A and B are shown apart, each in its own frame.
Chain A
Amino acid sequence: MASKFTLKDHFRESRLVNGRLLFSGLLSVIIFGIVIFRLVYLQVFEYEHFDYLSNRNRVDIEPLPPQRGLIYDRNGVLLAENIPTFSLEMVPEKVPNVDETLKELSKLLALSDEDIEAFKDRVKRQRRFHHVVIRQRLTEEEVARFSANRYRFPGVDIEGRLIRHYPQNNLFAHAVGYVGRINERDMEIIDQKDYKGTSQIGKTGIEKQYEDTLHGSVGYRQVETNVQGRIVRELMSVPSQSGDDLFLNLDINLQRVAAESLGDYNGSVVAIDPRNGGVLALVSKPDYNPNSFVSGISSKEYSELRDSPDRPLFDRALRGHYPPGSTLKPFVALAGLELGVVDVHSKTYCPGWYSLPGSSHRYRCWKSYGHGMVDMKDAVSQSCDVYFYDLAHTLGIDRLHNFLDYFGFGHRSGIDLPNESEGLSPSSEWKRASRNQAWYPGETLISGIGQGFNQTTPVQLAHATATLAMRGISMQPQVVRATRPAGQADMNLRNSEIMNNLPMQNSQNWEDVVQAMVEVIHGARGTARSVGKDMPFKVAGKTGTAQVFGIAQDGEYDAETLERKLHDHALFIAFAPADKPEFAVVVVVENGGSGSKVAAPIARKLIQQYFGLKVDE
């Protein structure tokens, strides 16, 4: 195949390429020569300089961690502070015999085996961090004892550090959250330079959401250290910048009333100022003590919290999914009025059950012998299921879904806290997309009374209630009211943000629905009459009971015989005063049974507290 022509060509090509190869080789030698010159410069001409830096006294750059911003409630009560602690620390590289030193130290300071194990574990994990903590929170006596013997322990020292402390303990556990040790996942997100010398970072709640605001910015100083690593003098320093303080909308008094009145029940209370979206109370029970997490929670304590069937670490206010039950009815009623399906006087007959045309299946009203003829206001105030079966059936699921969208059902409320759940507001499209199933008319009926697929979080329901109270002006829920940069006296108030202003054709519809909710509390046959007693103004509200356990078609719900965890969830939503709302509240009591008996009295206490009335015992 090799013809004479290509052979000749090949020869020419190889000469060309070999020439270039030779050139590249020579160029490489020259470039390596430059590198050698650089090394000669560093290692021969500048040797004295670098040798001085490395050997006589070492220059070290020490980060100066910033002070974390403080967190206050709306009254200026401290919720998160920094308290000084002393910790025993070691630079293992500077200690001749780590095991021997630890043995000597444990004689002096009674280190437990667990301390030593944890320390060895930390040494393995922390590569670049200079100081490794042996034990935190030394007592003053221990500090004194070590200081007297310090000369015996080169490379070991006592460091004063500030650690986070939550003086209110459990009360703000879910809302404020806690800080914890920076882990590998955090390292990937943060700018590591900013966290030199800082060992803690916001893990949950406000502490996490406002990490950037609270953290501040790091400073550093150049210091000369002697061979043992002790600082001889400071060469220069750039101070750190403390983080901003936060002032929350949360009110410690409301928070207390909510937590105490929930008592042993699991559940959640959320209160919002509907005028600006300020979150006044945010409680999820059971709770935990955030201080346990600050200096590393023991694995035993952590697994107890994690494995408890009551799930205390779970923030029910933001992530608990509950069927809204009858608390959804005012919104469904408004949909009916607004879309012209019913008017305020339209009546429906309630015989105690409802059947779809052509079907014998009976959807039951909670009142088995029926409400008789009811209009919208009767249906809301007496919580008649049949009226809403009929209304939902006429509306159809998709019109209902689209209307509930305005109030944020099935969407995050946008509260300034991490990991909020979306809840679920079903539609035929949703069911097709997620389950690949057609929507059944019967499902529309139970959606109309807030059961079935409907899932809402307490925050979402509170946001919807506030929007209803404001007759359609939807304010973004905000936990943080203001920030204050370190060292300044003035706060920067956050602007409240209007998320949506619902278009309504007839503003009378709002008043009719609000009036129906007032009837719930002040009407002769309202389901929550106890709430209105001695109130100086009208309160609007709605009870709700969410089924946990399905009862057979002809079965009977009997609280006596059912286990508590199968009891219905009790819900209550309210706002006050009805005509000029300043306060909206949602109470969810898991397995509380009836909304009117368990949830409504809690909401009443919060209203009393907020308006400065005498709070029930």
Chain B
Amino acid sequence: MSSLLSDGRKSHQWQLSSILRRFHIDPLLLLGLLVLLGAGLMMLFSAGGQDFGIILRQLVRMGMALTVMIAIAQIDPDRLRDNAYWLYGFGLILLIAVLLFGHEGKGAQRWLNLGFFRFQPSEIIKLAVPILIATYIAERPLPPSAWRILCGLILIGLPSFLIAKQPDLGTAILIASSGLIVLFLAGISWKIIIGFLVASASAAPVLWYFMHDYQRRRVLTFLNPENDPLGAGYHIIQSKIAIGSGGLFGQGWLQGTQSHLEFLPERSTDFIFAVISEEFGLIGVAILLFIYLLVASRGLYIASQAQSSFARLLAGSISITFLVYVFVNVGMVTGLLPVVGVPLPLISYGGTSMVTLLAGFGILMSIHTHRRMMSP
């Protein structure tokens, strides 16, 4: 069958669209991602003090991440489903390993040192959880039974708890959401959802108990940043000044005073959104948020067109988690949410999360381009 197809394509195999199709790339999604990555480079140039070295390093990471994305797009989604349990188990073992012999940095134990390179096992789990939960839930007809929901919650809770212990609350929240979103999409009845929300609201004190001191301080600082102007509150105070002073149109690219006079901390990484707000104003960030929504909506469209419940659930979860990612970061930088340390996806400086994000988009592309004819 493949020979038949390739014969038909021979005449126009050098056309861009056919190359994209041959490599299982979704052009619309790719376009959106490239726009975001390009905007990221532009902001990084400004936030990083116009240092070409930073841009170069980020470009190398982007190249790596895009390669991973395209590689994953070649994998048939059924392969992911077949190996879901292995992937999850592997990720879980690495998480336990990181707790036991991980490398500590800045008061948190997130890295696993393999001699030649270090990586964060939480990145593997970020994809393994939605893949596994989608596999598990789609094994039986939807909506899932109460028993399946319970098992699913345990499968989600285990890695989230381990990561929260590292401690990396931001990533733990993202991973838990990616799993919970699968359950939601699978059609759990609204009664259960509302019951769950009430239960988790009453579980907040328990969470408080398990938090590290620095996380508690961050929550308290969130409630009243002026309490701790030298420590955690400094971030929020400075980032609000930066955002607010951007106004409607912004100070212009490379013109932001707050970010360039070293007032704004972590301005290339977690707080880069404040730099964008200062330099491009309300109009600029509204456009940026709109692009994020467009990329996610393409993902949701792919989900709706998927052929199996597994693929539908997985694609939906990846797309919505992407938005949760954006929301947690922007919410944190604008003072709506506590500071939990989540980067702005595809824009913040740093490599590990970008690889995982683009790997997720690789899965979306794979789901969309591996569809088969239902009937001959």
Which residues of A are in contact with B by a Cβ distance under 8 Å?
2, 9-10, 13-14, 16-21, 24-25, 28-29, 31-32, 34-36, 38-40, 42-44, 46-47, 49-51, 53-55, 58, 60-61, 63, 93-94, 128, 130, 188, 193, 196, 218, 220, 222
CB-based nearest A residue for B234: A61
Residues of A within 8 A of B157 (CB): none
B139 interface residue per 8 A CB criterion: no
Residues of A within 8 A of B292 (CB): 32
Bound: A189/B281 CA distance, A: 39
Residues of A within 8 A of B281 (CB): 43
CB–CB B261/A32 < 8 A: no
B215 interface residue per 8 A CB criterion: no
CB–CB B282/A17 < 8 A: no
Bound: A50/B327 CA distance, A: 23
* Chain B, 274-331, CB within 8 A of any chain A CB: 277, 281-282, 285-286, 289, 292-293, 296-297, 300, 303-304, 309, 312-313, 316, 320, 323, 327, 330-331
Which residues of B are in contact with A by a Cβ distance under 8 Å?
104-107, 141-143, 181, 184-187, 228-231, 234, 240-248, 257-258, 260-263, 265, 277, 281-282, 285-286, 289, 292-293, 296-297, 300, 303-304, 309, 312-313, 316, 320, 323, 327, 330-331, 334-336, 374
| Known pairs A128-B265, A188-B107; A16 contacts B304 (CB<8 A) | no
Secondary structure dominating the interface of A: helix
Please list 29 pairs of residues, one from A and one from B, whose beta carbons are closer than 8 Å in the complex, sorted by A's number: A9-B141, A13-B309, A17-B185, A17-B312, A17-B316, A20-B184, A20-B186, A20-B187, A25-B297, A28-B320, A35-B289, A35-B330, A36-B286, A39-B286, A43-B246, A43-B281, A44-B248, A44-B282, A47-B245, A47-B248, A50-B240, A50-B243, A51-B245, A58-B263, A61-B234, A94-B261, A188-B105, A193-B230, A220-B230
Bound: A49/B237 CA distance, A: 13
Bound: A218/B181 CA distance, A: 45
| Known pairs A14-B312, A28-B293; A38 contacts B336 (CB<8 A) | yes
Q: B43: shortest Cβ distance to chain A, in Å? A: 16
CB-based nearest A residue for B184: A20
Bound: A60/B262 CA distance, A: 11
CB-based nearest A residue for B278: A54
CB–CB B323/A28 < 8 A: yes
Which of B143, B244, B247 has the largest count of A CB atoms less than 10 A from its CB? Answer: B244
CB-based nearest A residue for B247: A47
Task: List 4 extra interface pairs beyond A9-B141, A13-B142, A54-B257, CB under 8 A.
Answer: A25-B296, A31-B327, A43-B282, A58-B261
Question: What 8 A-B pairs have minimum CB-CB distances, sorted nearest first?
Answer: A50-B244, A54-B245, A16-B187, A193-B231, A43-B282, A42-B244, A20-B185, A13-B142
CB–CB B229/A50 < 8 A: no
Q: B153: shortest Cβ distance to chain A, in Å? A: 18
CB-based nearest B residue for A43: B282
| Known pairs A40-B282, A61-B229; A93 contacts B260 (CB<8 A) | yes
CB-based nearest A residue for B262: A93
Which of A14, A46, A54, A58 has the largest count of B CB atoms less than 10 A from its CB? Answer: A54
CB–CB A32/B230 < 8 A: no
Bound: A25/B303 CA distance, A: 12
Residues of B within 8 A of A58 (CB): 261, 263
CB–CB A21/B185 < 8 A: yes
CB–CB A46/B244 < 8 A: yes
CB-based nearest A residue for B330: A35
Residues of B within 8 A of A128 (CB): 262, 265
Bound: A222/B230 CA distance, A: 10
| Known pairs A17-B187, A35-B327; A50 contacts B245 (CB<8 A) | yes
Which of B186, B312, B331, B374 has the largest count of A CB atoms less than 10 A from its CB? Answer: B312
Residues of B within 8 A of A32 (CB): 289, 292-293, 323, 327
CB–CB A55/B257 < 8 A: yes
Bound: A18/B313 CA distance, A: 9
Bound: A13/B309 CA distance, A: 7
CB–CB B300/A188 < 8 A: no
| Known pairs A25-B300, A218-B230; A13 contacts B141 (CB<8 A) | yes
Which of A21, A63, A130 has the largest count of B CB atoms less than 10 A from its CB? Answer: A21
